[in-house]
Amino acid sequence: MLPEWRCRVPYPDIPGLRLGLDRPDDVLMKMKDTRNLILVGPMGSGKSAVGHQLARALRRPFIDCDTELEARTGVDISLIFKQEGETGFRARERELIAELATRQGIVLSTGGGAVLLDENRQRLREGGIVIYLETSIELQVKRVRRGERRPLLAGAPDLPGRLAELMARRAPLYADVASVTVRTDGHRVRDVVDQILRQLSSD
């Protein structure tokens, strides 16, 4: 049995409010909107890296769902999968998303499978502006590794095939839940952040 939630840092006192990237004042002014910015997309799409830089650019707190879940349970994702299976993991993920989506003014990175549940998609839509980081299978293969850190890839003899299988089910859900889509292939993290900021500031 895994431990119950425990939160190391009480909200809303979330660390990480340092200014990172230099951005024009007009972008920051337009982003006075306190709606959350929520990143969705497959594993290897760069949600965590983009989320960190986006949060710094906008002087917002950043939360990664998987990292937060590990912090609260005190164990890593692979152990949750091992002891509770994917069903148990999704239940914990659902509970966490339900809470975090009610925050204001954060940048939130979700797990690759967070969109699988109807309830999660609804929470994300209601919780802020959902941004889909669209990524090719080829780029995913370069970025991800099979093993304990990626339970859904562990033991897969055909990594591209397994990633394509996951994408076939999830890609329509990413597109459905998102109001902003940014292609990440061939772009540095900062370039992706620039694309997001341009789209947000033009709305």
3-class DSSP state for residue 172?
Answer: helix
The answer to the question of residue 80 being in a domain is yes
Q: Which two tokens stand for residue 111?
A: 């797990």
The Cα–Cα gap between 63 and 167 comes to 24
Please give the tally of structural domains in the chain: 1
pTM of the model: 0.84
Torsion angles phi and psi, residue 172, rounded to 5: -65, -30
Q: Is residue 30 situated within a structural domain?
A: yes
Q: What is the CATH number of the domain that holds 95?
A: 3.40.50.300
Gap between the Cα atoms of 181 and 130, Å rounded: 9
- C-alpha gyration radius of the chain: 17
Classify residue 6: in a domain, yes or no. no
Q: CA-to-CA distance for 150 and 201, rounded, in angstroms? A: 35
- One digit per residue, the tens of pLDDT, for the chain of length 203 reads 555 544 333 333 333 333 334 444 455 545 567 899 999 999 999 999 999 999 999 999 999 999 999 999 999 999 999 999 999 999 999 999 999 999 999 999 999 999 999 999 999 999 999 999 999 999 999 888 655 468 888 878 899 999 999 999 999 999 999 999 999 998 999 999 999 999 988 76
Domain hosting 144: range is: 25-202
Residue 156 lies in a domain: yes
Measure the CA–CA gap between 126 and 145, rounded to whole angstroms.
33
